[in-house]
Amino acid sequence: MYRAVTEGIEVTVEPEYAPERSRPEIGEFFWVYAVEIRNLSTETVQLRARHWEITDGGGKTQHVRGLGVIGEQPIIRPGEMFRYSSGCPLTSGHGIMVGSYEMVAADGKRFEVAIPAFSLDAPFEPRTVN
């Protein structure tokens, strides 16, 4: 599990290789990842946007930006959490993802929350430090 805390917002990510959605023989590898966003602060926040930086084993990086996550812009009150799952295809058996969420507090303050960097490694690939 990977974890980061920014301004009282904790983000944990747990990636898992999905062999049933992968076809290594033709260079298609797929991971699913579960994200939990927990509000440890005393303010209600809303997740407005996301930014992912995805780098494959060959060093090719792509940026993914969008509103909310999985079609939602959740409001997370103090002590509450929001969970979701998503996925990521790569053309190599390993890579790394990192990113941020744009949050808005109840008072209108906007701030970025770090998504921790996490490794995507197929179980049959040698582990590398990205």
CA distances from 102 to 51, 52, 87, 130 (A): 8, 12, 20, 25
The stretch 83-104 carries a mean pLDDT of: 97
Domain boundaries, given as residue ranges, for the chain: 2-121
- Total-model pTM: 0.92
Q: Identify which of 104, 114, 50 has the alpha carbon closest to the alpha carbon of residue 76.
A: 104
Mean pLDDT of the chain: 95
**Domain 2-121: which CATH number of 2.60.40.10, 3.40.50.300, 2.60.40.1470, 3.20.10.10:** 2.60.40.1470
The angle subtended at Cα 20 by Cα 93 and Cα 55, nearest 5°, is 30
118 pLDDT above the threshold of 90: yes
pLDDT for the residue numbered 124: 79
